[in-house]
Amino acid sequence: MPEKTLLQIDGLHVYYGAIHAIKDVSFHVNEGEIVTLIGANGAGKTTTLQSISGLLPIKSGKIQFEGKDLVHVPAHKIVGRGIAQSPEGRRVFTKMTVEENLRMGAYLQQDESVIKADFERVYTLFPRLKERREQIAGTLSGGEQQMLAIGRALMSRPKMLMLDEPSMGLAPLIVEQIFSIIRRLHEAGTTILLVEQNAQAALSVADRCYVMETGRIVMEGSGEELLHAPEIKKAYLGG
C-alpha cells in the first residue's frame, strides 16, 4: 500500500516583524510516522509548528493537511481538522484540576460516552494523571504537567499530534518516561510531528528527521541515518 501523506508543506516563508524566521521550508509527514524537527534554539522549529496550528500568519507557501489547504483556516478550526498540539512550556490551565484540563481538550466532542472512553485511554497511558485527577494542575511537577499537556492534546482524538519540546526542563528519568509514551502512541498508530532539542532522544524514536538551521532545512534522512551521521553527532550529540 502506498503511504498516505497527512501533512504537506511547500515553500513556507514566515516573518516575525522584519525577521525572516522560516525560509523556503518544505517537508511532509506520512500517516503513522513519527517525524522530528531538530536544531538549535532559534532554528525555527517552534515557529514551524505555530504556522501549522494557525497561530502565526505565513508570508507565502502551502500548508496542506489531508490534501486540504490550512493556510486560511483559523486556529480554533484546525483542531477540528484533526491536528492537536502539546505546546512548548506545557501551558496547562494552572488553576483547574487535572480532569478539567483534560476535558478542555475534548471541547469539540459532544458525545459523553466518547469523552469517557478518551479519559480512560489517557489514564491508561498516564496512570499518574489518574491518581492526581482532582489535583490542581499548577501544583503538579514539571513531568506531570508535561503528561497532562500531551493527555489534553490526545483528548481531541487528533489524526496528527504535534509535540513541542516535550523533554524541556525535565529530569533524565522523566524524559525516558515521556519518550516511552511517545513510542507507545506511535505503536498504537498515532501520527506525530515532534520538535525536540534532545536530538539523541528524538532521533531514537523518529522514522524520519529534518534538521533545521536558521529557518532552513539543511538535512533530512531516517532517524537511524542521522543518529549515525558524523555532522549530526558533532553538532547535536556531542560526538
C-alpha cell at 22: 522560516
Whole domain around residue 219: which residue ranges? Answer: 32-57+72-236
The domain tally of the chain equals: 1
C-alpha cell at 75: 486556529
**pLDDT for residue 2:** 60
Quickly tell me which residue has 489531508 as its cell: 66
Local confidence pLDDT in tens for the 239 residues of the chain: 568 999 999 999 999 889 999 999 999 999 999 999 999 888 999 999 999 999 999 999 999 999 999 998 998 899 899 999 998 877 899 899 999 999 998 877 888 998 999 999 999 999 999 999 999 999 999 989 999 999 999 999 999 999 999 999 899 998 999 999 999 999 999 999 999 989 999 999 999 999 999 999 999 999 999 998 998 888 887 65
The answer as to whether 21 is a domain residue is: no
CATH of residue 150's domain is 3.40.50.300
The answer as to whether 145 is a domain residue is: yes
The answer as to whether 10 is a domain residue is: no
Give the start-end residues of each E strand in the chain. 5-16, 19-30, 34-38, 60-65, 68-69, 83-86, 160-164, 191-195, 208-213, 216-222
Q: How many residues does the chain have?
A: 239
CB 103 within 8 A of CB 115: yes
C-alpha cell at 220: 533530512
The answer as to whether 101 is a domain residue is: yes
The answer as to whether 1 is a domain residue is: no
**pLDDT for residue 239:** 56
- Kindly report the pTM of this predicted structure: 0.92
The answer as to whether 118 is a domain residue is: yes
The answer as to whether 12 is a domain residue is: no
**pLDDT for residue 41:** 85
Q: Give the integer Cα–Cα distance in Å for 38 and 212.
A: 6
**pLDDT for residue 220:** 96
